[in-house]
Chains A and B, each alone.
Chain A
């Protein structure tokens, strides 16, 4: 069949779709460079004529803003002191603004990466056992999925109780376990669908050639569904990266993540610091965009795996 001609109305349609998809990203990046008096201006400022990096400095290097402002006045037992951190954003000097967001950025990276890895490993094992060996019968997949059938808030408090009892609150490993537990149903189901679409005769052939069951999966099954694994990994990574509820309730001081840090850029007197939030949001999408860029080939393959029925 000859390829379809790309018509002008196709172009308009795609352009509109592109604008629709990219507008939130444009607005976020644009806001991240606006000074505070342009964050919510009417009519809106699309691209600031007074662009500033203060929002980025606030989250990454607040000490730079200190020098500009001349310090933060605090009255201690030694008398008036100038503290060596502050910000200039909107004149607000809440203490949330005198600490950088690095702890949250590193926290998100560590927790998301390890939780995703754990979720994929467990999910892959579960998917193989269900798809190839009907482990636990036909109802097991639904039992696994039932973990996602109620709102996370319903299990939030029991999580706090259990995690407190075993000393897992405010720890990286605690949050990694929680995230993995919550995302395993997704990884299991997604990976199961990819394995289901792979003819098991290929594995059987490999076993006839002398491979054990285990090695047949390692050397045959997993490489053949690589695209699916990568697509699932990215999906789970995004879920973990943007998770808020468990990060909020299971952390106190030692561990922080970006979504919780974003929520902290709102205080009783300063209100919502949209520019700072936009700057942190922009920084936070960078790793995912980079990962997405490098794996796009596998991603497309993974997302279309099984699209053509045997």
Chain B
């Protein structure tokens, strides 16, 4: 049969079938007709299914973008995905202690979308290793993980983290626009690596300073401004010295000088001098005059710190000193303020409030800065840790997993999730700071949210790039040597710089430089300007 014959026969058959519909009187369906009709329907349905990515009659695409909020869009899209999902449970690997931010909402998510949620708790110190294990093992045992932003570069490079840029564009978590956005620069270095999204931010771990305003008043002193204990680091050193009263077991400063914790102080104080971790050619700046001066200042400050400074970290300083009324000020994460205000649970004796519930013993403050040549104060507020929802690249249900993270980190859901006890996510969206719910405000009373909102806009990252842990360790152990007087600040910082440069060389300078410049472009504008980042390439 020729091609033309075949074509004519098909036309005839189609017109006969069509005429059957038009002329109901002659409607007779033979078994052959029935088979043909069924086959045609099957083929049509199959093609529709193929082109519409598996959704029933192609409605999925329409649903996916529907919804006025990130939460609604996530729910609608997840609901549509559920029927054909290979897995009906979203498994989340999370660091120990953070489950309380998720468990109360598991049932709600299931009711809304059909997807169940399984929480896999791992020791907080092992989250990075367990995530990296997945890069090699590719088990897909968990769909989401919650590592720190510091882990993003290595998870991305190793192929463990999924690039979620397309999902972000498709479902819009409203992280970068509108009244509920996450502020620049945290939304950049807290979620992206080399300009691509690898995580959705869920924990605003930017530092602040809690201090004893009542003690200042007792000495006839006043804070520099509302929400700012002092303006500069010089003022801070001076004030801590003045408030120090060792005879009465009251210490002027509660910084961290123990291994692992101590580098965070150096990172924030050093970079406020307008110099970043590396220069444009990826040479370490740890041996720069600014870095050495920072180290010297920090060694000097130890005179007004407790003797346990070499072993105490955040919790110990807080529970032994600040909350016990034995220290003037402490740097820390938002939970520092939350615990300070908790007389019952955290047994804080500095949680005093007035009749209106306003704190009168403790006050929150922004981190001090350094004045530049033009007389402007540059601040570099460190963001150590924080957490991100990261989609496992080997998950069977990456889209559903992403949608869960968008739902829980949405403006409304995060407002409900953060105040929960039993977790440790802290405020990060604009609405958390500017329009908190009553229960949210109860956890972070006083001026804290206003102060922290300012801090978010001046945040600087840790060394969020491949080799982060090694760079951190090089700085950490050499600072430790300086604090213990085993090395002079100059020698310690020179050694740190040498080690950092060695790490860079071993990992490949060009590759590291590319990551570094991408990170440097995510710094707050005053710091980029001070370091001349605009001309880096």
Contact = CB atoms under 8 A, between A and B. Distances in A.
A155 interface: no
A86 B421 contact: yes
Contacts of A271: 313-316
B316 A249 contact: no
B123 A263 contact: yes
A53 interface: no
Contact of B316 (A40, A69, A91): A40
A74 B308 contact: no
A252 interface: yes
A95 B423 contact: yes
Contacts of B346: 90-92
20 contacts: A40-B316, A72-B100, A72-B421, A73-B439, A75-B104, A75-B420, A75-B439, A91-B348, A92-B346, A93-B100, A94-B96, A95-B103, A161-B136, A161-B137, A252-B93, A253-B121, A260-B123, A263-B123, A269-B315, A270-B97
A252 B120 contact: yes
Given A74-B104, A76-B105, A169-B139, 15 more contacts: A42-B308, A72-B422, A73-B439, A75-B104, A91-B345, A94-B100, A161-B136, A249-B133, A253-B119, A253-B121, A264-B96, A269-B314, A270-B97, A270-B315, A271-B313
Contact of A267 (B98, B316, B339, B417): B98
Contacts of B124: 264, 266-268
A88 interface: yes
Interface stretch (A13-21, A77-85, A111-119, A293-301): A77-85
Interface string B92-127: 010111111001110110000000001111111110
Contacts of A73: 419-421, 439
A59 to B, nearest CB: 14
A103 B316 CA distance: 29
Interface residues of B, number: 62
Interface size class of A (residues with CB under 8 A): 35 or more
Interface of A: 36-37, 40-42, 69, 72-77, 80-81, 83, 86, 88, 90-98, 156-157, 160-161, 164, 169-170, 248-249, 252-253, 260, 263-272
Interface in B114-160: 118-126, 130, 133, 136-139, 141-142
Contacts of B139: 160-161, 164, 169
B100 A95 contact: yes
A96 B104 contact: no
B342 interface: yes
A279 B70 CA distance: 44
B104 A268 contact: no
Contacts of B130: 248-249
B173 interface: no
Given A40-B316, A72-B422, A86-B422, A266 B141 contact: no
B108, B324, B347 interface centre (most CB from chain A within 10 Å): B347
Nearest 9 pairs of A and B residues by beta carbon? A267-B97, A91-B346, A271-B315, A94-B97, A263-B123, A95-B99, A264-B96, A164-B139, A160-B137
Most buried by A among B108, B313, B345: B345
B123 A248 contact: yes
Contacts of B121: 95-96, 253, 264
A275 B141 CA distance: 33
A94 B137 contact: no
B181 interface: no
A31 to B, nearest CB: 14
B44 interface: no
Given A157-B136, A169-B139, A81 B345 contact: no
Contact of A77 (B108, B311, B312, B333): B108
B486 interface: no
B528 interface: no
A272 B308 CA distance: 16
A268 B420 CA distance: 16
A90 B342 CA distance: 11
B515 interface: no
B100 A75 contact: no
B368 interface: no
A281 to B, nearest CB: 15
B98 A268 contact: yes
Contacts of A160: 133, 136-137, 139
Contact of B335 (A74, A164, A269): A269
Contact of B416 (A72, A75, A253): A75
A74 B106 CA distance: 13
Contacts of B138: 161
B264 interface: no
Nearest to B313: A271
A38 to B, nearest CB: 9
Given A41-B320, A93-B345, A98 B422 contact: yes
